[in-house]
Amino acid sequence: MKKKFFGTDGIRGTVGDFPITPDFVLKLGWATGRVFASNVDSNIVIGKDTRISGYMFESALEAGLSASGANTQLLGPMPTPGIAYLTRTFRARAGIVISASHNPYYDNGIKFFSSAGIKLPDEIELAIEQELEREMTTVSSSEIGKATRLNDAAGRYIEFCKSTIPAAMDFSGMKIVVDCAHGSTYHIAPYVFDEIGADVVRIGCEPNGRNINDKCGATNPSMLQQKVLSESADLGIAFDGDGDRVIMVDHQGDLVEGDELLYIIAKSRLDAGKLKGPVIGTQMTNLGLEQALARLGVEMKRAAVGDRYVMELIEAFDASLGGENSGHIICNDRTTTGDGIVAALQVLAEIWRTRKSLHELKKGMVKFPQSLVNVKIRERADLSKFDCIQKAKIEIERILGADGRVLLRPSGTEPLIRVMVEGKDMEMVDELANQLAEVVSEALPL
């Protein structure tokens, strides 16, 4: 069956536009409770980021879950990976996250974790959607679910994050700028890095409900780059609004993105003899990472774009590490989902172990230039059926040879075809990407 509401990462949209409305979220809570609340002791945790609409949707979910007979624990503002962790540790039946991740404040969404702290399988999402088709009812008064608020959620998660690196590592004397994007890490990440000894300079730590991801954070790190330079800091760390992405900045103000961070962590695990299986990337992972890992004797496998697909391959190959260039990095030997704080700590641990700077560590991987062109289309189409597109793609692949890649990918959220060309020469890559985009545009007119 095709899902009606769930996308690759829950249900997301503009607040006030269906289905991101209080009445729908009320019924979504009820439907979720119906699926998970098979007994009176069922417990579901709810956390959120710092968007102003989070209060409204938290209340709606709580009411819907109570009406279904499910008990809830309210975590308040909490990073998405923190909610996954607390779902596991509290032995909850499920975890619910109210967040639109890196989107602006006027968007919001609902996503879910299973009791194991991983994204829900398709069959559970379909079961929730089937319940949404039913008329909403309320259990008897004696069976209505209770709601409690967990006041020490942040402290529990801070301690977990610190536990993912050896306690003997002391970062005294290291100056770090931490940008929390005015999001859900604002009251957690600075304390984590402070408590391992670093001198922490905070930015993006004053959420007001409307400034999440606004000109800051992992999706807009220019302010972090400037602050690292002005503070003469050793490095900078930026998270997105819900804390599952991380981007870093070295002492020269240069970005160190997800693929480079993945390389540093992979090499660290390999040197320690603790790297299991292949490293999992995606279709968008830079060819430079694949070649750098190959030089180390490490295989890389590519998943479809999206952290849930990365996790599927991690599980399939029993791998310890995977991620995306956006900064979603899953350290499967430490936690069950993409976790920006945990990933950053693994990089800091390698800096401590090698006594090398972030700038030096990233040199093992050389990124290939990428050019990405978006082509607007009227409706989805099977590109393999267009001979002109396939011929153009094959010819560009011939020109690039082993030192380049071509990717044609429909957007999962917009009426677009994403045309990506990667190679050693930026000028050539741009030219070839535009050529292929023109062929796609002519074959699939608006």
- DSSP codes of every residue in 117-136: SSBPPHHHHHHHHHHHTSPP
Best CA proximity match to 171, nearest among 225, 253, 233: 233
Is 101 annotated as catalytic? yes
**Per-residue tokens: 271:** 């040197």
The torsion angle over the Cα atoms of residues 220, 225, 228 and 232, rounded to 10 degrees, is -170
Amino acid at residue number 199: D
Cα–Cα distance measured from residue 393 to residue 4, given in angstroms and rounded to the nearest whole number? 33
- DSSP codes of every residue in 170-235: --TT-EEEEE-TTSTTTTTHHHHHHHTT-EEEEES----SS-TTSS-STT-THHHHHHHHHTT-SE
Contact present, 171 and 229 (Cβ < 8 Å)? no
- DSSP codes of every residue in 3-59: -SS-BTTBEEEETTSTTSSHHHHHHHHHHHHHHH--STT-EEEEEE-S-THHHHHHH
Cα–Cα distance measured from residue 372 to residue 213, given in angstroms and rounded to the nearest whole number? 23
Active-site position among 68, 99, 101, 371: 101
Contacts of 315 (CB under 8 A, 6+ apart): none
The count of C-alpha atoms lying within 13 angstroms of the C-alpha of 37, restricted to the half-sphere facing its C-beta, is 26
The burial class, CB within 10 Å (0-12 / 13-18 / 19+), for 273 is exposed
Cα–Cα distance measured from residue 22 to residue 172, given in angstroms and rounded to the nearest whole number? 47
The Cα angle at residue 302 between residues 289 and 81, in degrees rounded to 5: 85
Q: What residues pair up with 107 in beta bridges, in sequence order?
A: 14
**Per-residue tokens: 410:** 């429909």
Best CA proximity match to 259, nearest among 274, 275, 246, 272: 246
Q: What is the separation, in whole angstroms, between the first and last Cα of the chain?
A: 29
Q: What residues pair up with 407 in beta bridges, in sequence order?
A: 420
Residues marked active site are found at 101
